[in-house]
Amino acid sequence: MGERVIFVIFGASGDLTKRKLVPAIFSLTCEGFLPPEDIAIVGFARTDLDNDSFRRELFKGVENYSRISTAQCRLWPNISERIVYHRGDYGDIKAYEELKNLLNSIEEKLDIPGGRYIFYLATPPDLYSTVIEHLGSSGLTRKMGSFPRIVIEKPFGYNLKSAIELNNILHKYFREEQIYRIDHYLGKDTVQDLLVFRFGNAIFEPVWNRNYVDNIQMTVAESEGIGTRAGYYEKAGVLKDMFQNHLLQLLTLVTMEPPIDFSEKSIRDEKVKILRAIRSIEPSQSYNYTVRGQYAGYREERGVSPHSNTATFGVLKLYIDNWRWQGVPFYLRSGKRMKEKMTYIAVRFKDVPHIMFPYKFRDQISSNILYLWIQPNEGIRLQFNVKRPGMEMNISPVIMDFTYSDVFEYKVLPDAYERLILDIINGDPTLFTRNDEIELAWRFIDPIVEGWEGKESPPLAFYEGGSLGPKESDDFILRDGRNWL
C-alpha cells in the first residue's frame, strides 16, 4: 500500500473513458502493473446513470476494446466494485462539494491516504477551465505531496492565446509537475523506441545530421474520415489536429540532441530547444511551404458546412536552424481518408559522393533510406544496395527488416494509454508535454493557420478517399527534386 490513488474522470460517460481509459486500466491490472486495490475510479458526468449502469457501460468498453480479453483475465469484478458514478453539472459548485465528500468517504472505506487524486479531464475542451476553476474553488486542489495530479486531453487550446490562458488557469491551482498534458503518440512503444534507437546505438548517431541526411519525411495517415466529430474537426482542421501536437512531437524526438540522462527534465529541455529552432513560416509564406487538401465528400459529412474550407490533409516543409540540421528539409504530411492508417518516418541519406561503377549502373543505385514504422507493422527497415547474384554486374536495393511482432512475444503492442496512465500514477511526466513545448508548438503553427485563412493561402486541393492525398502533394515535393518515400 502507499501508492493508492483515486482516478476521477470528468466526462466519464463519453467515448474516451469507455474505449481507452478504463480498458487501459483493466489491462494494467491484468498484467500486474496496477493491483485492483491500488485504484478507485470515480466517474463525473451529467448523464443519468447510477453505479450499476455506469459499470455495465464500462464493462462493454472493456469487452470490446481492451488488449487483454475478459476471458483471459477475470479481474473485472475486483475493479468494478471500486468504480463509483457521480452525477453532476460541470458548472455547479455544489457538484464539486458533493464530489469532495464522496472522495473522503471512498478514502475512508477503501483505506486510501487523503488527497491522492488524479483528475482526468475527458470532457470537450471548452469545459476544461470551468472544471479546473471549480476544482480550485472547492478546495479539491489542496496540495498533498505530488498530488493531486491533473490530466488534460488534447487539444490543449486552439491557438497560442488560448493555450497560454489555459496554462495560466492551471498554474493558479497546480504546479507544473502536477500537470500531465496528454499527447497519446508519446505513449506508443515505437515512439519511445526512437530514443533507444538513436541513443542506444552507436552506429546511427554519427550520420544523423546535415552531412549525411538529405531529407526526413514524416507521415501520419488515417484511413477514416471525421466520423461523428464534425463539431470538433470543423474548428480544428488538420494543422491543429495533427501537426501542432503529434507531428511536432515526433519531430522533436527524431531531431533533438542527445540528452545528458533519461530524466524528464533533460529530455523535455532538449525537445524545447528543437521547437525553438524551427524556422518560423510567416502567413505570406504558406504558399511556398505547405499544401492544403480536403477529401472528396467531406462537405457532405454530417455536421460539416457544404462550403467548408477546412483542410483534412496537409503537407508542411520546415527547417531547423541549428548546427546539426541546417539546410535539411523536413516534410511533414498528414490526412484523413487516406489509403491506410499508417505512421512512419523516412530518413533519406545523401547519395554516395562518387559512383565508381560503369555509367550504365548509375540508375541502379538507390539512396539509403531508413524507415521507422510507428504503426502498423511496427518496426525498423533499412534500404541499401546489393549485387544481384549472377555472372553479370547488377545492383538492386534491398530492405533489412526488423518487425516487433516477429521478434518479441507481443501480438498487439500495449495501447499508448496503458503506458501513460501508469506513468501518471507513478508520477513520471517524461512522456507528457510541458507548458513551454505546447506554447512553442502553437507559436509555430498559428501563423500557418493564419496564412491558410488569408488571401495568400495555397488553394484547397481535393483528393479521393483511399488515396495518398492530392496530386499537389506530389507536385510540391517534386519541385524540390524529391519524391515521397
- The distance from CA 219 to its chain's CA centroid, rounded to whole angstroms, is 13
Distance (Å, rounded) from C-alpha 289 to C-alpha 53?
51
**Cα Rg for the chain, rounded, in angstroms?**
24
Q: Name which position in 4, 31, 35, 47 contacts ligand NDP (CB under 6 A).
A: 47
State the cell numbers at 338.
Answer: 487516406
Please list every residue from 122 through 141 that binds ligand NDP, using CB under 6 A: 122-125, 127
Please list every residue from 359 through 398 that binds ligand NDP, using CB under 6 A: none
Q: Which of 362, 366, 352, 349 is nearest to 393 (CA)?
A: 362
Catalytic residue among 86, 246, 307, 354, which?
A: 246
State the cell numbers at 273.
Answer: 530547444
Q: Is 51 in the site for ligand NDP (CB under 6 A)?
A: no
Distances (CA, A) of 406 to 39, 194, 374, 379, 414: 34, 19, 15, 9, 16
- Kind and range of the H or E run holding 169: helix 160-173
Q: Is 16 in the site for ligand NDP (CB under 6 A)?
A: yes
C-beta of 10: minimal distance to ligand NDP in Å?
Answer: 8
Nearer to ligand NDP (CB atom), residue 126 or residue 453:
126
Nearer to ligand NDP (CB atom), residue 235 or residue 273:
235
Q: Is 88 in the site for ligand NDP (CB under 6 A)?
A: no
The footprint of ligand NDP on this chain (CB under 6 A) covers a number of residues equal to 16
Q: Is 23 in the site for ligand NDP (CB under 6 A)?
A: no
CB 332 within 8 A of CB 315: yes
Q: Name which position in 3, 15, 165, 340 contacts ligand NDP (CB under 6 A).
A: 15
C-beta of 224: minimal distance to ligand NDP in Å?
Answer: 12
Amino acid letter, residue 204: F
C-beta of 328: minimal distance to ligand NDP in Å?
Answer: 31
CB 165 within 8 A of CB 130: no
Q: Is there a catalytic annotation at residue 307?
A: no
Nearer to ligand NDP (CB atom), residue 47 or residue 467:
47
Instruction: Name 293's bridge partners.
Output: 313, 461
C-beta of 379: minimal distance to ligand NDP in Å?
Answer: 25
Tell me which residue has cell 504558399.
Answer: 287
15 contacts: CB under 8 Å, gap ≥ 6: none
C-beta of 385: minimal distance to ligand NDP in Å?
Answer: 42
Q: Name which position in 9, 13, 320, 469 contacts ligand NDP (CB under 6 A).
A: 13
Q: Is 153 in the site for ligand NDP (CB under 6 A)?
A: yes
C-beta of 23: minimal distance to ligand NDP in Å?
Answer: 12
Q: Name which position in 154, 181, 268, 333 contacts ligand NDP (CB under 6 A).
A: 154
The dihedral through the CA atoms of 249, 250, 255, 258 has a sign that is: positive
CA-based end-to-end distance of the chain: 51
Catalytic annotation, residues? 246
Binding site for ligand NDP (CB under 6 A): 11, 13-16, 20, 45-47, 122-125, 127, 153-154
